[in-house]
């Protein structure tokens, strides 16, 4: 691989990761939009610095961006505290004003024919290929500094994000922590726009942490994952924009990030869409199986003997779709809860006990509803139909205790306990 390209790649990876790490705290603070506003607001500072430094001085660029960004940040705060405007209004106001001003400066440059427009445009959408070696060194150093800063201020940032009042009360230097965070945010955005440009910077700040949040519940792990996701996207984006001519880097980075983001929302364990879907299916299946066992137990209760029921018998008593019932019975047979006879199915001892349990929970809950929640006896059945599948053994124990080992439910049916 081309060694220069490799250096650029490492630089881009570092700066994307550091932006994502700082962005994680913005995300957790619910300030995603503020990052977007600051990114846009950097433009005037960047353009001015570009003109002054003849487009070659990265330090000047950082300074310009920093001043412009801090100015925007404090303008938002000032507008919020001095007017009755809501937060989102203040943010949009600053974003559009600063960005508009930046674009105006850019076109002025163009008109005066200073000839660096091509160089300037990379700050709009990012163009990794246009980055010089000087840039790579300066921005990589800055990225490392950012990560060290977050590491150093970890406790402060964590508490400021979770419970700022508490941080103030225990005497932490909250103004210093806030200022540090603001400066780090602006610097992170300054380095980040080298990769994706101001327009798409919000994605680099926020999407990695949103994706990481789906996979983990610990803050350190979330910071690491966000950095990793950002790195993967930055590398992919840089690679594509360097092999395909005239391709901006930013949009590719953002598209890869979006894929990781949506992928996380779909596939993440517990919180992901698939996991939710799987839980819903499992609950549905449990409900059907338990309903069949309950029904068979109730038939035995009615006739006072063991019964054999065919599929049609069952469907006559309770509306269950035929194929659902067939699947349920196969499952019950496999779990040794029912046995198959020539004329239908019968409960095993294990299945009888399970059916008895469901009926017991149903009746206990009905009793609880009438006794404790004062509900009328003709209103309680639907609720109990659900609760019989939800109540766990320890809640059952509490129910029995609270109701004083009751014998009969509100409809005078006996509550069937396990015979010892």
Partner 1 sequence: MEKSIEVHNLTVSYHSKPVLWDVDFSLPTGKIVGIVGPNGSGKTTMLKTIMGLMKPDSGYTEVFGQPLDNVRERVSYVPQRESVDWDFPADVMDVVLMGRYRKNNLFRRISKDDKRIATEALEKVNLLEFAHRQISQLSGGQQQRVFIARSLAQQADIYLMDEPFVGVDAATEDAILQLLREMKNQGKTVIIVHHDLHTANEYFDHIVLLNTRLVAAGPKEKVFTKELLQEAYGGRLTLLSKLGDLISTEEFPLREPEFKENKPEK
Let me know if 370 is exposed, middle or buried by CB neighbors in 10 A (0-12, 13-18, 19+): middle
Contacts of 117 (CB under 8 A, 6+ apart): 106, 109, 110
SS3 30: coil
C-alpha to C-alpha distance for 295 and 329, rounded to whole angstroms: 13
Specify the residue, 213 or 356, whose C-beta has the smaller distance to partner 1: 213
Task: Count CB-CB contacts under 10 A for residue 404.
Answer: 8
173 counts as binding partner 1 under rule CB under 8 A: yes
Specify the residue, 214 or 359, whose C-beta has the smaller distance to partner 1: 214
As measured in angstroms, the least distance from the Cβ of 71 to partner 1 is: 26
Contact criterion met (CB below 8 Å) for 239 and 230: no
Q: Footprint of partner 1 on residues 106-145 (CB under 8 A)? A: none
392 counts as binding partner 1 under rule CB under 8 A: no
356 counts as binding partner 1 under rule CB under 8 A: no
Task: Count CB-CB contacts under 10 A for residue 298.
Answer: 20
Give the per-residue contact string, 45-84, with partner 1 (x = CB under 8 A; - = no): ----------------------------------------
Specify the residue, 10 or 168, whose C-beta has the smaller distance to partner 1: 168
Specify the residue, 27 or 99, whose C-beta has the smaller distance to partner 1: 27
Specify the residue, 154 or 239, whose C-beta has the smaller distance to partner 1: 154
Part in contact with partner 1 (CB under 8 A); list of ranges 33-41, 154-162, 184-192, 293-301: 154-162
C-alpha to C-alpha distance for 357 and 368, rounded to whole angstroms: 16
Contacts of 14 (CB under 8 A, 6+ apart): 139, 140, 143, 144
Residues, the chain:
420
As measured in angstroms, the least distance from the Cβ of 274 to partner 1 is: 20
Q: What are phi and psi of 37, to 5 degrees?
A: -65, -45
Helix (H) or strand (E) run with residue 121 in it: helix 117-125
162 counts as binding partner 1 under rule CB under 8 A: yes
As measured in angstroms, the least distance from the Cβ of 31 to partner 1 is: 12
Contacts of 120 (CB under 8 A, 6+ apart): 47, 50, 55, 106, 109
Helices (H), 197-318: 201-215, 219-243, 249-267, 273-303, 311-317
156 counts as binding partner 1 under rule CB under 8 A: yes
C-alpha to C-alpha distance for 170 and 346, rounded to whole angstroms: 67
168 counts as binding partner 1 under rule CB under 8 A: yes
319 counts as binding partner 1 under rule CB under 8 A: no
Q: Which of 118, 141, 169, 281: binder of partner 1 (CB under 8 A)?
A: 169
Number of residues that bind partner 1 (CB under 8 A): 26
Check residue 115 and report its DSSP letter.
S
Q: Which of 165, 407, 418, 419: binder of partner 1 (CB under 8 A)?
A: 165
As measured in angstroms, the least distance from the Cβ of 234 to partner 1 is: 24
Q: Which of 59, 104, 152, 282: binder of partner 1 (CB under 8 A)?
A: 152
171 counts as binding partner 1 under rule CB under 8 A: yes
323 counts as binding partner 1 under rule CB under 8 A: no
218 counts as binding partner 1 under rule CB under 8 A: yes
Interface positions with partner 1 (CB under 8 A): 28, 30, 152-153, 155-156, 158-159, 161-163, 165-173, 213, 216-219, 222
């Amino acid at each position: 691989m081309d060694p220069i390209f490799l250096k650029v790649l490492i630089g881009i990876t570092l700066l994307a990761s550091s932006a994502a790490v700082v962005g994680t705290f913005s995300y957790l603070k619910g300030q995603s939009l503020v990052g977007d506003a600051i990114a846009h607001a950097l433009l005037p500072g960047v353009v001015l610095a570009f003109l002054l430094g003849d487009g070659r001085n990265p330090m000047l660029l950082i300074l310009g961006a920093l001043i412009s960004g801090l100015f925007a940040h404090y303008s938002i705060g000032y507008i919020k505290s001095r007017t009755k405007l809501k937060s989102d209004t203040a943010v949009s106001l600053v974003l559009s004003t600063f960005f508009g001003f930046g674009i105006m400066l850019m076109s002025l440059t163009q008109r005066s024919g200073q000839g660096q427009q091509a160089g300037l445009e990379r700050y709009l959408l990012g163009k990794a290929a246009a980055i010089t070696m000087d840039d790579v060194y300066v921005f990589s150093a800055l990225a490392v500094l950012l990560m060290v800063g977050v590491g150093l201020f970890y406790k402060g940032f964590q508490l400021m994000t979770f419970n700022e009042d508490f941080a103030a009360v225990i005497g932490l230097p909250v103004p210093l922590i806030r200022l540090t965070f603001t400066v780090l945010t602006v610097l992170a955005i300054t380095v980040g726009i080298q990769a994706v440009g101001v327009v798409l910077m919000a994605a680099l700040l926020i999407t990695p942490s949103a994706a990481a949040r789906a996979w983990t519940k610990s803050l350190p792990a979330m910071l690491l994952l966000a950095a990793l996701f950002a790195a993967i996207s930055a590398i992919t984006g840089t690679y594509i924009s360097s092999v395909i001519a005239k391709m901006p880097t930013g949009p590719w980075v953002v598209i890869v990030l979006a894929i990781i983001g949506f992928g996380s929302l779909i596939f993440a364990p517990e919180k992901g869409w698939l996991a939710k879907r799987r839980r819903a299916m499992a609950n549905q299946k449990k409900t059907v199986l338990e309903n069949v066992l309950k029904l068979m137990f109730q038939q035995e209760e009615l006739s006072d003997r063991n019964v054999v029921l065919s599929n049609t018998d069952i469907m006559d008593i309770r509306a269950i779709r035929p194929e659902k019932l067939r699947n349920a019975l196969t499952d019950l047979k496999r779990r040794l809860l029912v046995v198959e006879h020539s004329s239908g199915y019968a409960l095993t001892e294990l299945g009888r006990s399970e059916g008895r349990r469901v009926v017991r929970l149903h009746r206990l809950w009905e009793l609880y509803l009438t006794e404790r929640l004062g509900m009328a006896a003709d209103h309680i059945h639907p609720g109990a139909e659900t609760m019989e599948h939800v109540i766990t053994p320890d809640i059952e124990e509490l129910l029995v205790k609270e109701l004083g080992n009751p014998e009969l439910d509100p409809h005078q049916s006996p509550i069937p306990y396990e015979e010892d």
